[in-house]
Amino acid sequence: MEEPFSTDLIYIFAYCLGGLAFALGPFVVVHLLAARKTRNCANKTDQAIECGMDPIGDAWIRYSAVYYLYALVFVAFAVDVLFLIPVALVYNRISEFVIRDFVEMLIFVGILSLVIVYAWKKGIFEWKPRKAVPRI
């Protein structure tokens, strides 16, 4: 009775140890491979990136909300593909509910096509150049 219990504990301990290794492993690898001494020439230690050229302007710029909405449209259709590919692969295997499955797919694609209509109405697909505002 003791033998199976102890082997189960060994498997659980190995699983937890593997999870801990996968969680902490990247931090250890980055620490071992990271450069030790950087940005120590020409007194450029305050720069975030040292590429040999002095930075021009401020790094904190404001992006338009159109970029974020464009990304949300991309995510919506990525989810669409992630759903439709497995459904299309098993569509002909089950012949009992073909009409119901087809209607469900049409409803799903119809709802996601409303994302395009919404984006079109909001003007996401119209790329207007912005006028540069001079900084004081």
> Is 5 contained in some domain?
no
Judge whether 73 and 124 are in contact, CB under 8 Å.
Answer: yes
> Is 72 contained in some domain?
yes
> Is 73 contained in some domain?
yes
> Is 130 contained in some domain?
no
Domain that holds residue 93: 65-122
> Is 99 contained in some domain?
yes
Number of domains in the chain: 1
> Is 110 contained in some domain?
yes
**CA dihedral defined by 43, 48, 54, 60, rounded to 10 degrees?**
-140
What pLDDT is attached to residue 19?
A: 95
Question: Cα–Cα distance between 83 and 107 in angstroms, integer?
Answer: 13
Angle between helices 98-122 and 65-89 (to 10 degrees): 170
Predicted model pTM: 0.42
Chunk the chain into consecutive blocks of 10 residues (it has 136) and report each block's average pLDDT, rounded to whole numbers: 75 94 94 70 56 67 75 82 82 77 86 84 74 65
